[in-house]
Each structure stands twice: as C-alpha cells, then as structure tokens.
Amino acid sequence: PFQEGDYDETKLSRLESRWKQYLAASALSGENLRREKENVKSLVSDISHQTKTPMTNLKMYTALLEETLRAEMHMESREESMEMLQEILRQTEKMEFLIQSLTKISRLETNIVEVRPAFQEISVLLAEAEAGIRQRAANKEIRIRNIYTGNGSACYDLKWTKEALENILDNAVKYTPEGGSVRVSVRPWQFYTRIDISDTGIGIPKEHYNDVFQRFYRAEEVAAEEGVGLGLYLANGIVTRQKGYISVKSKVGEGTTFSVYLLS
C-alpha cells in the first residue's frame, strides 16, 4: 500500500510538478479544441448569412427569365432575357467564389490542411501568382510589372502562398482604376524575404490598416465593387501559419503597398 513516507520531499515535489504540467497541458488542449469548434460554428453561420443574398437574386432572376421565355419572344425580349441570364451567371460565380473561399479558410483554421513550407525560389512563386491575375488585369488595361530578376529563395508552401499573393494582386487590380499599374518587387533581409505589391489605386486610410485583414470587412467607399472581403483575411492566415507576416502602407488617392514577409 502507498505510504507518504515512501517518498522524500524531492520526489514528491517532482511528482507534483509533473502533475501540474499534465493538468496545464490538458486544459490548453481543451481550450484549443473549444476554439476550433467556435471557429467552425462561426464559419457555418457566415456561410448561411453571406450566401442568402446571392441565392435570393438567383431565384428572382430565374423566375423573371422563366416568365419572359413563356411569353412571345421578340427581339427586345431576347435581349432582356440575355441580360437576366448574364446576371444569373454573375451571381452564381460570386456564390461559388464565396463558398470556395470559406472552405479554404475553414480548412486552414481547423488544421485540416497543413501548410508545409520549404525553401524554394522566389521567382517561381511570383510567376505563378502573376499568371493567375494576368487576364483580370488585362481586362482593365492595368499593367503588372514584376521587377525582380534575382534567384533568391525563401521558405514557403507554393500552393498556399501563391493563393495569398494572388489574393493581394486581385485586390490591387480591383481597386486600381483602368490604365493604372501594379508593381511587384523583392527585398532580401537577414531573416526574411520581403515581397512588395504596390498599386496606383484608391488607397486605404491609416485607421483601417488592421481592418482590411478582418473577415468580411468591406470599406464603405468600395461597397459598389465586387467582392466579399475574404481575400486579405485568407492571405494573412496563410502567411502567419508559415511564421511570416503582412504589413500595409498606403496613401488615400495615391495607392497601396502590401508587404509579405517570408522566412529566408
């Protein structure tokens, strides 16, 4: 049978310390699990809220199109039907983008998918990210200038970091007037490699620097633009999970620079 006298003070103290460590670790694990469940719950709620309007619009335009098609089809009616059909397609694409973005976020936040950074050339990352945005930039006659010609490397997951940079580039193109430009440059530091994405767009007020990384944040002045406010939130989550970070510097009416710092 156990007797306290079988243990001296040192052994008892060591046992007590290990027991406290175990309890602390268990409590932390429970708290992390609770937070993950709350994240999933919040995301499901967001999906329900954010998909409501596109779905309503889809039903409305579909009903209108059905009524038009049942009537006698004159040339004017055909044109109106095509306009409604295009709106249905636009709303469908918007909803698809939203659901895809929310899925990616939920997979990251619940650690279903792990970001696996490895040392790779920066030029590969920039080329793939630029390719994903090139057509959208061309549609607005916006020139993307990648001035990096080096062969440096950084530690990053290609698939996810490409997603992050493409989201930032997409924002740059979206909020830059037609005929503007987006400049991509790289600056190696001692511990980080900094990738700057600078545009000639509308700019961001300093008091909203942190807000732009929040989920579903949309400034009042860009409410008319397409978007749901998830791109920068997702980009920030991807980069921070690789022990990097993103900063922003901007002047209203002159443009914005997002700087992505990756371990090097």
* 210: pLDDT strictly greater than 50: yes
Of the candidate ranges 38-52, 88-102, 189-203, the one whose mean pLDDT is the lowest: 38-52
* 6: pLDDT strictly greater than 60: no
Partnered with residue 260 across adjacent β-strands are 195, 246
**Token pair recorded at residue 98:** 């939203």
Of the candidate ranges 47-51, 88-92, 200-204, the one whose mean pLDDT is the lowest: 47-51
* 159: pLDDT strictly greater than 80: yes
* 2: pLDDT strictly greater than 50: no
CA distance 167 to 46: 20
Tell me what pLDDT residue 82 has. Answer: 75
Tell me what pLDDT residue 85 has. Answer: 76
CA distance 228 to 213: 12
CB 88 within 8 A of CB 58: yes
Which of 111, 131, 41, 96 is CA-nearest to residue 230?
Answer: 96
Per-residue pLDDT averaged across 26-49, rounded? 67
* 128: pLDDT strictly greater than 80: yes
